[in-house]
Amino acid sequence: MCALLLSGVLGCRGEDISFDCEHQMEAFVATAEREVMPLVPIPAPPPYAAVIRLSEESLNRILVHALAQNVPFSGEVPFGILPQGPGTAAFEPESAPKVALRPVAGCPECVVFQLDFRVGLSASGTPLSTGVGWVDLAIPLYLQEDPAGAVHVVADYGRADIDDWYLSVFGFDSEQHDSLSGATQLFLEKQLRESFGPTILLTLPPWVIETEAVLVTRDLLVDTTRKHLVLGLATNLPFYGSGRDLREIAPDPTAALFVAMDTEIFGALAHRLLGQGTLPRRYREDGQPDEGGTYGVTLHELAPASANTFRTELRLWRIAEGYCGRAAIEMPLELQLEAGRLALAPGPADLVVGHPDNQGAGVAAEEDESLVEEHRSLVSTFANRLTDLLTRGLQFPSLEVPRTTLRFEPRSAALVETSLEMAIDMQVFLAE
């Protein structure tokens, strides 16, 4: 049999099974089947394929409009026996809450709402005086998933506690009248819990590629040391990375949001897309996708190579029409940030000369560079489709907040060991 590479004539060789198309087709099919990534149940607790950090300042910017509409602090409570008769204190918020991320004894999942209030004091229905004060409300947070896969960060107002407060009215000062202050506080906490239920603060839609959700929020941490709300996202793709630690990721302190993604997710996603056929695996001689094409592509590695480059290693297979084989191809994918959009772009693809997996026509390609050039369009078609799909995976999904429109813009991105770290700026608007 006479030699063609992946297409050209090189001369006659002795019989070698590595040139046999049936042999290479079987090997290609087996390799492709191993690359298929079925979706799997998310384990509990999962490794976190991605972590999102929101700073205290960012939380206040995000929630300013939503919290102003539903301030969990109002009610009428007994205020002891006054000279004029049984007293009643009516509380009303004077300001929208400010969110503070500070330790709360016995409640690591709590955030603190700080607000000013006014109080009206009356006895037997007759107004006596008005006063002022401030309060720190400790509000537990929890996650709640809806049927569509979106995850809500919920403030459980029904379990709110007054962690600290100050009240001054009608000559009474809470710092000097502990017993009256304590009794009023207990009545007011009971009133608040009965009057306000769980309230959605913000919603994180699932991270969707094409039509599949591949990252879903599964954990929440109130980091009072760095003053961040931290969200852990798990994947339903087979994931063999070590994951990101909710506590250890060191964010850019000036970023509104900071996202760290385990780079293992990109290889898992690429294999999933190949298995679905969303990313074509078979190609014709002219480089166009074709399910019955002469050529096939498998993806063997996608890993960080530098601060702004992934290294990919492919196999280009000739599996039909005589003189078959396979060749190892190496290609960089470069991180680019332009006009507020993060993207991946393929660099030049090269044959890995001397690679032990080069067989048959792939070995022949080492001897004739022109044969490599003939297949650049095929590799380019695959690479462009791959980077287009992975680029979509880099786009941060929107946060949804009542009465608020948010716009996000990546400011920087870098590969740090096995993590892609992104600093993201944010604009906040009152929704129309």
pLDDT one-digit tens code per residue, 106-148: 999 999 999 999 999 998 888 899 999 999 999 999 999 998 8
Q: Which of 23-37, 244-258, 349-363, 373-387 shows the lowest per-residue confidence on average (mean pLDDT)?
A: 244-258
Six-digit token pair at 402? 């009542």
Task: Look at residue 6 in the predicted model and tell me its pLDDT.
Answer: 44
Task: Look at residue 1 in the predicted model and tell me its pLDDT.
Answer: 30
pLDDT band (50, 70, 90) for residue 15 = low
Mean pLDDT of all residues in 297-305: 96
**Stretch (H or E) spanning 389:** helix 376-394
pLDDT band (50, 70, 90) for residue 9 = very low
Question: What's the first-to-final CA gap in the chain, in angstroms?
Answer: 72
Contacts of 162 (CB under 8 A, 6+ apart): 135, 136, 137, 138, 185, 188, 189
SS3 call for 374: coil
Q: What are residue 78's DSSP bridge partners? A: 88
SS3 call for 418: coil
More confident residue, 15 or 380: 380
Query: What distance in Å separates the CA atoms of residue 101 and residue 423, rounded to the nearest whole number?
Result: 21
11: pLDDT strictly greater than 50: no
Query: What distance in Å separates the CA atoms of residue 137 and residue 157, rounded to the nearest whole number?
Result: 9
pLDDT band (50, 70, 90) for residue 79 = confident
Query: What distance in Å separates the CA atoms of residue 333 and residue 348, rounded to the nearest whole number?
Result: 9
DSSP 45-65: SPP-SEEEEEEHHHHHHHHHH
Mean pLDDT of all residues in 225-239: 91
Task: Look at residue 326 in the predicted model and tell me its pLDDT.
Answer: 95
pLDDT digits (tens, 9 = 90+) for 40-56: 888 777 889 999 999 99
Q: What percentage of the chain reaches a pLDDT higher than 90?
A: 62
Cβ atoms of residues 229 and 223 within 8 Å:
yes
161: pLDDT strictly greater than 90: yes
14: pLDDT strictly greater than 70: no
Contacts of 266 (CB under 8 A, 6+ apart): 302, 310, 390, 393, 420
Residue at 132: amino acid letter: V
Please, what is the Cα angle at 303 between 302 and 308, to 5 degrees? Answer: 115
Query: What distance in Å separates the CA atoms of residue 116 and residue 135, rounded to the nearest whole number?
Result: 6
Cβ atoms of residues 6 and 366 within 8 Å:
no
Q: Which of 7-11, 104-108, 385-389, 409-413 shows the lowest per-residue confidence on average (mean pLDDT)?
A: 7-11
pLDDT band (50, 70, 90) for residue 266 = very high
Domain ranges within the chain, ordered by starting residue: 2-52+205-394, 71-195
Cβ atoms of residues 78 and 187 within 8 Å:
yes
Cβ atoms of residues 221 and 207 within 8 Å:
no
Please, what is the Cα angle at 135 between 132 and 139, to 5 degrees? Answer: 150
Cβ atoms of residues 233 and 217 within 8 Å:
yes
Query: What distance in Å separates the CA atoms of residue 263 and residue 14, rounded to the nearest whole number?
Result: 44
Task: Look at residue 10 in the predicted model and tell me its pLDDT.
Answer: 38
Task: Look at residue 62 in the predicted model and tell me its pLDDT.
Answer: 94
306: pLDDT strictly greater than 90: yes
Task: Look at residue 397 in the predicted model and tell me its pLDDT.
Answer: 65
Query: What distance in Å separates the CA atoms of residue 133 and residue 303, rounded to the nearest whole number?
Result: 56
pLDDT digits (tens, 9 = 90+) for 388-408: 999 987 877 678 999 999 999
More confident residue, 285 or 57: 57
Mean pLDDT of all residues in 245-254: 78
Task: Look at residue 239 in the predicted model and tell me its pLDDT.
Answer: 82
Mean pLDDT of all residues in 7-11: 39
